[in-house]
Structure 1
Amino acid sequence: MLRAREFLHKMEFPVQDGYDLISSTQTFDDGGQYRIEIPSVEGAATMEAVITEAKKLGVKVNRVSQGSGIMLLSDKEIADMVEMGRQESIEVCLFIGPRMNFDIGGSAYSDSGNLLGWRHSGMDQLAYALEDVFRAVDLGIRSLLIADEGLLWLIDQAKMNGDLPKELVLKVSALMSPPNPVTGKIMQELGGTTLNIPGDLTLPKIAAFREALFAPLDLYIESPDNLGGFLRYYELPEIVRIAAPVYLKFGLRNAANIYPSGVHLEAVSVSQAKEKVHRAAVGIETLKRYAETVQSTSITYAL
């Protein structure tokens, strides 16, 4: 292994996973080590329920993210979510438009091709996706959820060229999770400003990511079933210590698949989102019980 590790060292990467579990010295800009994200907040009604439940349980939610796509939200729904985000200092992160699992092709549903489902097929779909982006930004959205490397690069180029705001957050989806720090660095260089990493990474593997990257990491503390269904509540203190700055994501095991969502699934979306806030409250209690040194501070949602 000597030659391989010498080469990794020369390329300024960790030469192995971080078995020594070094504490991260990085934080968010406001000094916080962690923030709370509630995923699958599919529209204004669900976001309103998240806010109400968070106030009831004393949870500071920093980010909500959506999965059905910008294209399935009306202008008013997006504007309402933006306004709630501004009032409550919550980052509103919306997934981008049509992708392969919404298209007429069948490869995204095959055994070997199902991981393609959240990427964009052909130039037409990329153009549709970009149109989704420009519309959402015009309506005030400043955070986007992306699962296609080409689209990530295009949006980053648009930011650099002045066609999109420089402060636009580009969140790499869990459906495009980098499984190692080298892939993570590629995602970061393509423009990813916050990176979902696989929910089943061991603590040493997470520590190696933090050694190599400066972007905030996003990690499911409770994963939905299609991402493994992991529950990692007792690991929270160590995760925050070694991974900061980190978004702690509270999905829900044994939850219904609601993509693409709508009024026909709104009651399910709302009830599941409320339980995710409850799970976040349990997670924060666990974190505070076993690690008084970690801290969270609020985020200002810039419009």
Structure 2
Amino acid sequence: MHFDGILFFPVTPFDESGRIDHDLLAQHVASGVDAGAGGVFPACGTGEFHALSAAEAGAVVRTAVAAVAGRVPVVAGCGGPLGHAIEVARAADDAGADALLVLPPYLVGGPQAGLVAYVEAIASASALPVVVYHRANAQFAPDTMRRLAANPKVVGFKDGVGDVGVAQLIVRAVRAVREEGRTDFAFFNGLLTAELTQAAYRGIGIPLYSSAAFAMIPEVANAYYRAYSDGDEVRRLALLDGFYAPLVALRDETPGFGVSLIKAGLRLSGLPVGSVRAPLVDPTPAQEVRLAEILAAGRALL
């Protein structure tokens, strides 16, 4: 797989009855690809994977694949309880996804050998390659990633921990495997509001990043990406100070706002994507006013 551009993590729209609105999802995904997304990651963190049944996750991926229509890679979320993860992986394969993003297992922690077994069990469950998501109770040591990178079905590493030192060692470990013949392994910065940290991640050899902001305000996310890609530090820092830093400050007020604010921003723009599912909560009216001001400030910078 090859990614060229921002990695787009669409929300999962719900109607007033709490059911998935597939027509709105297709519109949301198609508009993101039209806006220049380099890859689409449906039913992942921003898409509330934690709150979807296996059947719902498979249906979300199927809708996303149809909306993308082969223009960019589609990487579907899977994870949680192993049985659930395997069921979701097979559904994503049937739906036409190009790869899987393996989220952490549910609740329990395990040793490194157990994490390897978890990833390999999911990779073996379908024909799809997998991207490892390094976060929470699934944190992979450099030697573990070296071992996993020797498996041709493991094609990527996404960092959601934020320990730049460990991430650097993992990049070096995987590159040692790549020097022995791997050429298709990708590295992603998957921290919340990754624009805030991406300059540092590029410095350690992780050039790609996911952008939740792209889902609600692609014009600002694209402006940041262009400045980042072109080395225009004046422009990049103006967007960082004027838009991303205030957004992060609001995001950090309430757990789960990395998702809730994106849905709120889409609603403010006129796309009725509905509320988030429990245990997440929507912003208060006062917080929505502040979000609207942040979005307006971002657009003004353009």
TM-score using structure 2 length: 0.52
Measured after TM superposition, the shift of residue 290 of structure 1 is 0.9
Alignment of 1:13-24 (within 5 A): none
Q: Is the 8 A contact 1:143 1:169 kept in 2?
A: yes
- The structure showing larger relative contact order (alpha-carbon pairs under 8 Å, at least 6 residues apart) is 1
**Residue number in structure 2 paired with 1:81:** 64
Structure 1: distance between partners of 2:86 and 2:229: 42
Q: Could you give the per-residue CA deviations for residues 196-227 of structure 1, whole angstroms, max 9, x where no partner exists?
A: 1235233x65443322114311213x615xxx
Instruction: Please point out which of 195, 216, 223 is paired with 1:274.
Output: 216
SS of aligned partner of 1:239:
helix
Q: What is the identity, as a one-letter code, of the residue corresponding to 1:61?
A: G
Structure 1: distance between partners of 2:31 and 2:159: 29
Alignment of 1:1-303 (within 5 A): 35-39=5-9, 41-42=11-12, 44=22, 45-46=24-25, 48-53=27-32, 55=34, 58-67=35-44, 68=49, 69=52, 71-73=54-56, 77-96=60-79, 99=80, 120=81, 126-146=82-102, 147-148=104-105, 149=115, 150-158=117-125, 164-165=126-127, 168-175=128-135, 178=139, 180-189=141-150, 192-202=154-164, 205-213=166-174, 214=178, 215-220=185-190, 223=192, 231-233=196-198, 235=199, 239-240=201-202, 242-243=204-205, 246-252=207-213, 273-275=215-217, 277-290=218-231
CA RMSD, 1 decimal = 3.6
SS of aligned partner of 1:135:
helix
SS of aligned partner of 1:243:
coil
Structure 1: distance between partners of 2:140 and 2:232: 27
Structure 2: distance between partners of 1:87 and 1:127: 29
Q: Could you give the per-residue CA deviations for residues 165-185 of structure 1, whole angstroms, max 9, x where no partner exists?
A: 2xx121222435546422432
Q: Could you give the per-residue CA deviations for residues 241-287 of structure 1, whole angstroms, max 9, x where no partner exists?
A: 6425x4311135xxxxxxxxxxxxxxxxxxx8223x34531331221
Q: Is the 8 A contact 2:133 2:157 kept in 1?
A: yes
**Alignment CA distance shift 1:47-1:240 (3 Å):** farther
Structure 2: distance between partners of 1:242 and 1:128: 34
Number of corresponding residues:
196
**Alignment CA distance shift 1:82-1:50 (3 Å):** closer
Q: Which ranges of structure 1 fall in alignment gaps of 5 or more residues?
A: 1-28, 100-119, 121-125, 159-163, 253-271, 293-303
TM-score using structure 1 length: 0.52
Structure 2: distance between partners of 1:211 and 1:173: 17
Structure 2: distance between partners of 1:78 and 1:230: 26
What percent identity do the matched residue pairs reach? 13
Q: Is the 8 A contact 1:70 1:136 kept in 2?
A: no
Q: Which ranges of structure 2 fall in alignment gaps of 5 or more residues?
A: 14-21, 106-114, 179-184, 234-302
Q: What is the identity, as a one-letter code, of the residue corresponding to 1:185?
A: R
More helix per residue: 1 or 2?
2
Measured after TM superposition, the shift of residue 80 of structure 1 is 2.1
